[in-house]
């Protein structure tokens, strides 16, 4: 029985909207912005501090600063007070939340490495959503971004996600063998949701048949 669906996605492909509609159809809990909020709560920091570092490597200057802080007496004494928030801390907290959400079940989890943390669990169905580059730019422009901003985001955000997955999981992103279903969102959000639900039912029937 599938109790969790992870939704990984290319930036601008509509993954978050599809995940929301899927959660609504199933009556399940949606872990997207809620996941960011919970990370911020557990780390006792601003939500924005988490948003700018989720699914990203820390920039080089920050990594050098962190190394200096950890390697000096002054840094060791002051690090707790400074409340340093970095990619590694966020990754550790994210893994804990995602694992607990999977245990609770009835959850749709968006990105944040969830497909990698929950790989191998028989009660989890993994989906990857993608779209042609031009379609992603158009979707981002529809959200109020300029042509230049939309193009830059479509080019850079996924590059950062790929670097993050490579650093922490030593895998290429997207790792195709990890996903049960990879689907082009240009067929329409409702059809994507229906395809996911149909695919889950098919997998469950095949599992029940042995």
For the chain, the domain total comes to 1
**Structure confidence at residue 84 (pLDDT):** 55
Token pair listed for 206: 């095949």
Domain with 86 in it:
4-209
Sequence-distant (≥ 6) Cβ neighbours of residue 149 within 8 angstroms: 140
**Structure confidence at residue 16 (pLDDT):** 97
Burial 54-66 (b: 16+ CB within 10 A, else e): bbbbbeeeeeeeb
Q: What is the pLDDT of residues 8-28, one digit of tens each?
A: 999 999 999 999 999 999 999
Contact 86, 62 (CB under 8 A): yes
pTM: 0.86
**Structure confidence at residue 117 (pLDDT):** 96
Helices (H) and strands (E) in the chain, counts: 10, 5
- Say how many C-beta atoms besides its own lie within 10 A of residue 2's C-beta: 18
**Structure confidence at residue 68 (pLDDT):** 43
Sequence-distant (≥ 6) Cβ neighbours of residue 192 within 8 angstroms: 14, 18, 129, 183, 185
- What is the domain-level CATH number for residue 85? 3.40.50.300
> Residue 106 pLDDT more than 90?
yes
Sequence-distant (≥ 6) Cβ neighbours of residue 17 within 8 angstroms: 189
Contact 49, 40 (CB under 8 A): yes
Q: What is the pLDDT of residues 35-90, one digit of tens each?
A: 999 999 998 888 888 888 787 765 544 444 344 434 444 433 344 433 456 778 88
> Residue 188 pLDDT more than 70?
yes
**Structure confidence at residue 83 (pLDDT):** 46
- Mean pLDDT, the chain, rounded, equals 87
> Residue 92 pLDDT more than 50?
yes
Structure letter (DSSP) for residue 112:
T
Structure letter (DSSP) for residue 12:
T
């Amino acid at each position: 029985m599938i109790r969790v669906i992870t939704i990984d996605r290319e930036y601008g492909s509509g993954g978050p909207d599809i995940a929301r509609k899927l959660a609504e159809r199933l009556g399940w809990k949606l872990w997207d912005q809620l996941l960011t909020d919970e990370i911020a709560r557990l780390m006792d920091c601003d939500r924005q501090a988490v948003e700018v570092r989720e699914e990203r490597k820390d920039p080089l200057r920050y990594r050098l600063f962190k190394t200096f802080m950890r390697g000096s007496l002054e840094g060791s004494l002051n690090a707790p007070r400074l409340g340093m928030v970095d990619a590694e801390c966020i990754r550790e907290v994210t893994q804990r939340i995602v694992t607990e959400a999977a245990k609770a079940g009835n959850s749709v989890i968006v990105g944040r490495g969830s497909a990698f943390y929950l790989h191998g669990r028989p009660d989890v169905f993994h989906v990857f959503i993608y779209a042609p580059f031009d379609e992603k730019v158009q979707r981002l422009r529809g959200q109020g971004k300029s042509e230049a901003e939309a193009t830059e985001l479509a080019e850079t955000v996924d590059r950062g996600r790929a670097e993050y997955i490579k650093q922490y999981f030593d895998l290429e992103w997207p790792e195709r063998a990890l996903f049960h279903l990879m689907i082009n969102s240009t067929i329409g959000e409702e059809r994507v949701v229906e395809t996911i639900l149909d695919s889950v039912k098919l997998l469950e029937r095949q599992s029940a048949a042995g």
